[in-house]
Structure 1
């Protein structure tokens, strides 16, 4: 039997590590979600979140780094290729949720919660859910 090349072993280790990190992030997000948040509420937030991200990305009063993160996020969401393919049930969209939550948390930390309030296009209840997810 031939030995496995080093790069194959390293790639396998990296892939396994990335999967563990994704699972850990999913568990953290699941535990951090509000108790009253249902799948239906989350689905209703999607159009408002997309408009929020677009508005924040276009706000020239925000720091450039924040806007760049948001533009990259919009590009990632528009790409047909994801880290975890969307055709895989549940977990296929989970990577998008993790990435959106992480980017919005960093935006809130850098720009402040007032930026969310200024640009939020949805209901006050939806804004409260987004605030909770953003910390």
Structure 2
């Protein structure tokens, strides 16, 4: 997936192709950070195990929807962990372009709303 993503032009498709490998790399980086609470580390560990596990809710050979259970599980676990982790720490651990991560996490509660 990483080799495929490196051949794509910059944009949304490249970010989507880099998403799961970026999640695994960020989870590994956050695991070592002392500012990250234990429950966030557990959620990130579950996300990594879910991605690398050969057991899936939907078989991978099904086009489009096969990898969908991995992506949905990772997004939900990442959002849960992000509530416990300072946003700067989360963004610092993200190895690729942070625009997709910021979109998935939503607006920062401390950030004022834009009109």
Report Cα offsets for 1:54-86 as digits up to 9, x if no partner: 111232321101101111111111110111111
1:79-118 to 2 correspondence within 5 Å?
Answer: 79-118=53-92
Distance in 1 of aligned mates of 2:12 and 2:88: 26
Q: 2:46 aligns with which of 72, 75, 99?
A: 72
Ranges in structure 1 where 5+ consecutive residues have no aligned partner: 1-36
Which of the pair has more CA radius of gyration? 1
Say which SS state the counterpart of residue 91 (structure 1) adopts: coil
- What residue in structure 2 maps to residue 133 of structure 1? 104
Q: Which of the pair is proportionally richer in helix?
A: 1
TM (normalized to structure 1)?
A: 0.63
TM (normalized to structure 2)?
A: 0.73
Say which SS state the counterpart of residue 105 (structure 1) adopts: helix
Distance in 1 of aligned mates of 2:15 and 2:40: 27
- CA root-mean-square deviation: 1.7
